[in-house]
Amino acid sequence: MQYSSIKIIIAILVASFFFACSHGNRVKETSKTMTEIKVETTDMKSETNPLLKEFNTEFSLPPFNEIKDGDYLPAAKEAMKVHNAEIKAIIENSDEPDFKNTIESFEYSGALLNRVILLFFAKHSANTNSEIQKIAQEISPLISSHYDNISMNSELFEKVKSVYNKKDLFDLNGEQTRLLEETFKNFKRGGALLNDKDKKRLNDINMQLSLLSLKFEENLLGENNRFELNITDEKDLSGLSSAVIDGAKDAALKDEKDGWMFTLHKPSFIPFMQFADNRNLREKMFNGYSQRGNHNDEFDNKAVLLKMVRLRIEKAQLLGYRTHADYALEDTMAKSAENVDKLLQKLWLVSLKGAKHEAEELQKIMDKDLKSKGLPEEKLMAFDWFYYTEKLRKKSFDLSDSELRPYFLLENVQKGAFLVAGKLYGLKFIPLNNVPVYRDDIKVVEVRDSEDKHVGVLYLDYFPQEGKQQGAWMTEFRGQEIKNENFIHPIIVNVFNFTRPSQGEPSLLSLEEVETLFHEFGHALHGLLSDVHYPSLSGTNVSRDFVEMPSQFMENWAVEPEVLKEYAFHYETSEPISDELIQKMENSSKFNQGFITVEYLAAALLDMKWHTLDKDPGDIDVNQFENKVLEKLGLIREIIPRYKSTYFAHIFSGGYSSGYYSYIYSAVLDSDAFFAFKEQPDLFDSETAKSFKENILTKGNSDKPLNLYMNFRGREPSIEPLLIKRGFQNVKGE
């Protein structure tokens, strides 16, 4: 799915320091090892900075009521000192390097710094302000340089290499072997084998990339916040529902303006594009969305992304790879750009044929509509697609988004997701009150298992605000691990941008938003149910083309009739969704799949084109490059990529460079996995659910993803369930 359903996107925005993200994106509790006791000589100023204290709260939750914006930078600097002391203790240990004194000690180092940067970048993504953005500009290169200094430390690497070369002498279990192999590999990928000159250059590249990544995202946030469509003539609201109109009225009042205000935030943008009758205003709205970062002004992203592309090529080649894609894909299930291209092209041919047919059908609907209004004929354009798709959906299936929304009350949809997790895995969700949160509208729940034992804590951040990035994602304040025989429970966060309640109306979700909630909750379950020892192997710390499988797997449950009957109740009458409406949903489930798949694949292929460049592209024209790629693909005029380059946050600020393909790769896995349940007499078959939990959700990165999947399914994944799901099984490409 889109960036609006990702997830997993860890809030650490310093995308360049791969080593930090693979080793250090887990928060650890403060139980002290011998190494930690030895290095506790630095002045931590714990009396005044809450980030440097133990969190004396229920479940050790972050005390957001005590943390001030000004606490983050000094805490990060102090935590880096502590981390450096821990690394020094490993290096200076005179004992023969072994798994425990080298690999485990390194794995558990940096706990305090992990905690600080997770909390800081979570706030930067979901509740930022000018002070936080200024701090980010200072803290990001410091963190990047800090982790570079560790990953390129020759003395430390020699100790790691010594253990790796003697691994057969140690009695290591499977998880320990995996940790050793991943640690050694990450040192090599982090530049440990480079000479001093190249190490210095790599450090400089990583710092530049960290700042450019922040700049890209902050430009995009600026674009999202500044666009406003202020309507003052009531006739221009024709076609829009009362709920959408009321929300626009509230937005205008908040901005102290007359009339109705529409923005690029999805709860405003999507229904406007679907239902607003005024074609000129739809075009204006669409151009505002599709030209973000492309206005040659202070928020322009063309120079930013082009510099990132150049630096990524240079970095990859410094490390011995031909392209950035070669570097990024080495550690994935796909393994190579050639394998990615093979999959994408196979799906491109069949989905493009479907999209062309859909465009023809929409043109017919548009011709008839314009004629009925006495308007001249027009060619279907990209800004028409959503509008006429809804008309075709209504005509073909007697179904519209506005008919479904009343059944998708936010609170009920969330309960539905919880119910599925309860039936599959025995989980219970208990609201926690009076928990310190980073914004007043955050909900917090405790998660317990079937034996009423504590599993973890889940934060739910539902609604958009000015200081929040668009989309939806999962992150964490603390990851799961087992340390000194103590099971450390995870603290997980789901972030969304759903329609706020307005004018007495509750928050009602579109079907896409329902699937988004289930998707991010799938990421949350991957983090919550993790059961491994080592933090860098826990939860969602898996390859990009595997991480989306548990999340997309959960989407399947959202629209199952048996599940819908449990949560889809009309918000006014409390009547359950009817069998007739469910049947309409089923009948339309393959509707518009050509468009959905083509717009996604166009973005995935664009990502790969940027990152398979093997030499500095110079000052090429970003728009021309993009247009040539899309023209060669044969993308039709009526569709644009889901993300154009200048607002492609996944690949230029979200850690998915050369990895946007992973959603479709994971879709093969999730579709095949869900078929394992559909093949059973009981959709919630306990043995199948137990196998999925034990072989996928609890295992993190403790084994190779394909091994984990085959342990669950008993065979390699098949692409056929995905083709069936999207209605492509009988379609042949042109």
What's the mean per-residue pLDDT of the chain?
A: 92
Round to the nearest angstrom and report the end-to-end CA distance of the chain: 25
* Residue count of the chain: 734
Q: How confident is the model at residue 505 (pLDDT cuts 50, 70, 90)?
A: confident
236 contacts 281 by C-beta, under 8 angstroms: yes
User: Could you count the other beta carbons within 10 Å of the beta carbon of residue 286?
Assistant: 20
Q: Is 582 helix (H, G, I), strand (E, B) or coil?
A: helix
Contacts by 160-168, CB closer than 8 A, 24 or more apart: 160/97, 160/102, 160/103, 160/106, 160/184, 160/187, 161/187, 162/97, 162/102, 163/97, 163/98, 163/99, 163/102, 163/103
CATH code of the region 406-587: 1.10.1370.40
Query: Does the model's pTM come out above 0.95?
Result: no
Quote the tokens at residue 717. Answer: 């994944």
DSSP-derived pairing of the beta strands 473-478 and 454-461 = unpaired
Bridge partner list, 502:
505
Q: Alpha helix (H) ranges present in 612-661?
A: 622-633, 649-652
Quote the tokens at residue 548. Answer: 């989306």
pLDDT the model gives residue 685: 98
Quote the tokens at residue 312. Answer: 């990524």
pLDDT the model gives residue 729: 67
pLDDT tens digits, residue range 676-731?
Answer: 999 999 999 999 999 999 999 999 999 999 999 999 999 999 999 998 988 876 65
Cα dihedral 418, 422, 427, 429 sign: positive
pLDDT the model gives residue 33: 31
Determine the average pLDDT of the residues in 218-228.
95
Distance CA 507, CA 463 (A): 9
Residues of the chain within CATH 1.10.1370.40 domain(s) are 16-220, 406-587
Quote the tokens at residue 558. Answer: 């959202």
101 contacts 93 by C-beta, under 8 angstroms: yes
- Asked whether residue 60 carries a pLDDT value surpassing 60, the answer given is yes
pLDDT tens digits, residue range 341-399?
Answer: 999 999 999 999 999 999 999 999 999 999 999 999 999 999 999 999 999 999 999 99
CATH code of the region 16-220: 1.10.1370.40
- Asked whether residue 563 carries a pLDDT value surpassing 50, the answer given is yes
pLDDT tens digits, residue range 270-312?
Answer: 999 999 999 999 999 999 999 999 999 999 999 999 999 999 9
Buried b (16+ CB within 10 A) or exposed e, 192-206: bbbeeeebebbbebb
pLDDT tens digits, residue range 20-56?
Answer: 333 333 222 222 332 333 334 344 455 689 999 999 9
If you search the block for the tokens 């009925």, which residue do you land on?
372
- Calculate ∠ Cα 510-511-515, nearest 5°: 115
Distance CA 624, CA 604 (A): 18
Catalytic residues: 520
Determine the average pLDDT of the residues in 127-155.
96
352 contacts 240 by C-beta, under 8 angstroms: no
pLDDT tens digits, residue range 469-491?
Answer: 999 999 999 999 999 999 999 99
